[in-house]
Amino acid sequence: MEKKEKTCDCNWSCNCCSNGTWIATIILVIIGLIWGACLWTNLSNKVDQMGEKIDQMHKLIIEMSYGSTENFNKVYEKVMTDEYIESINSQINAQLESMGDWSEGSSETTTGELVNPTDEEWNGTDDEAYKLFGLSWTPGNAIINTKNRMYKAIGGAYPKSSFDEAIAQLKEGSAQTDEIGNAGYLTETQLAKLLDWAYYKNDNKDAEIVIVEYSDLICPYCQRHFDNQTLESIVEEDSSVALVFKNMPLSFHPTADLGAKGVECAGEIAGTDAYYNFLTKAFATAEQDGEFTNESLANIAKELKIDAKKFDSCLNG
């Protein structure tokens, strides 16, 4: 007698197998939803707790500064007028409009001739320093590898060791952004525009590394940085490094721009040596008098044997 194989003739048992799979799937989905809901609730609670702590800290700062939230609100309502907000927006829009000058796609070129010191090429160095290197104050320093256009900014009168380390990193191509300044790359257009009309100390225009020093003649930190001859000593020790000084007069030093113009006039009339010789004496004058006058600048020019008529015409032109 032939033995028949057992087949699934029972609809109930087959359906049971199929239904069991679906039931297991549904259970897993329910467990996942419950777990997700718990996780979301826990995360929301932590976010709420963090928000409460931030609110508490904000309230504490206000009370420490103004005595109470009510006092702060009075000051806020007094200051945040429509006119004030409009003036802030105007300043922001003006800054955004001016940022195109140093953009990567800029096609502006220069002739290579000496710039008249009344032009914005030197009087706009604060804009240049900020847009290219993030330097807002003086002394500000940008160290650039002219071969690969990599730079390292040093914002302040740091010791020689900081500059030596940055130069070594740039030569190795390993400069990094840190607490003393940004690191990055310039475009060919930016580098060319930056160094056009520049006064190279010791006329070392083929140097691998160029230090661009942005400085204010009346700034005490700038005077100390200059008196210490930190950058000058580096240039003297290493012929692969050049120094370029750029005037960056700050608005809250009323006669700093006049002194800077005197330096620029000296360079335009008598060249690079006159530029740096005038610069040295201008720093000394500012340290002694605390300000510049037309007379004090004319005396420096006379001492350096710079043509008096040309200097007067340039300074007052």
Q: Quick one: 192 and 253 in the same domain?
A: yes
Q: Quick one: 181 and 38 in the same domain?
A: no
Length reported for the chain = 317
Q: Quick one: 77 and 119 in the same domain?
A: no
Quick check: 307 pLDDT over 80?
yes
Residues in contact with 274: Cβ distance below 8 Å, sequence separation at least 6, in sequence order: 266, 267, 304, 306
Domain final residue, candidates 60, 82, 104: 82
* 275 within 8 A of 199, measured Cβ to Cβ: yes
pTM flag (> 0.85): no
Report pLDDT for 111.
32
> How confident is the model over 25-34, as pLDDT tens digits?
777 778 777 8
- For residue 129, what are the CA distances in angstroms to 19, 34, 134, 246? 73, 57, 6, 10
Tokens of 293: 């006058």
Query: Quick check: is 157 in a domain?
Result: yes
Q: Which of 42, 193, 222 is nearest to 105 (CA)?
A: 193
Q: For residue 154, which phi and psi values (nearest 5 degrees)?
A: -125, 105
Q: Which residue has the higher pLDDT, 41 or 7?
A: 41
Q: Which of 137, 125, 264, 152 is nearest to 210 (CA)?
A: 152
Q: What is the dihedral of CA 301, 215, 287, 307, to 10 degrees?
A: 0
Query: Quick check: is 308 in a domain?
Result: yes
Q: Domain containing 74: what range?
A: 28-82
> How confident is the model over 43-63, as pLDDT tens digits?
667 656 665 656 665 566 656
What is the pLDDT of the chain when averaged over all its residues? 79
Residues forming a β-bridge with 149: none
Report pLDDT for 72.
64
Q: Quick one: 132 and 60 in the same domain?
A: no
What is the C-alpha R_g of the chain? Answer: 33
Query: Quick check: is 96 in a domain?
Result: no
Quick check: 287 pLDDT over 80?
yes
Cα gap 301→310, rounded to integer Å: 10
Query: Quick check: is 23 in a domain?
Result: no
Q: Which of 89, 93, 115, 122 is nearest to 217 (CA)?
A: 122
Q: Quick one: 131 and 216 in the same domain?
A: yes
Instruction: Say if residue 160 is exposed, middle or buried (CB neighbours under 10 Å; 0-12, 13-18, 19+).
Output: middle
Domain final residue, candidates 82, 97, 126: 82
Q: Quick one: 178 and 301 in the same domain?
A: yes
How many domains, in total, are found in the chain?
2
Helix (H, G, I), strand (E, B) or coil at 212: strand
Q: Quick one: 229 and 148 in the same domain?
A: yes
> How confident is the model over 139-182, as pLDDT tens digits?
999 999 999 999 999 998 899 999 999 999 999 999 999 999 99
Query: Quick check: is 17 in a domain?
Result: no
Q: Quick one: 71 and 180 in the same domain?
A: no
Q: Quick one: 129 and 269 in the same domain?
A: yes
Q: Quick one: 138 and 73 in the same domain?
A: no
Q: Quick one: 139 and 58 in the same domain?
A: no
- For residue 48, what are the CA distances in angstroms to 36, 39, 41, 54, 100? 18, 14, 10, 10, 43
Output the domain CATH number for residue 221.
3.40.30
Parallel/antiparallel/unpaired status of strands 241-247 and 209-215 = parallel
Query: Quick check: is 102 in a domain?
Result: no
Query: Quick check: is 94 in a domain?
Result: no
> How confident is the model over 79-90, as pLDDT tens digits?
556 665 566 566
Question: Which amino acid is present at 36?
Answer: G
Query: Quick check: is 10 in a domain?
Result: no
Tokens of 14: 């087959």
Cα gap 255→253, rounded to integer Å: 6
Q: Quick one: 184 and 256 in the same domain?
A: yes
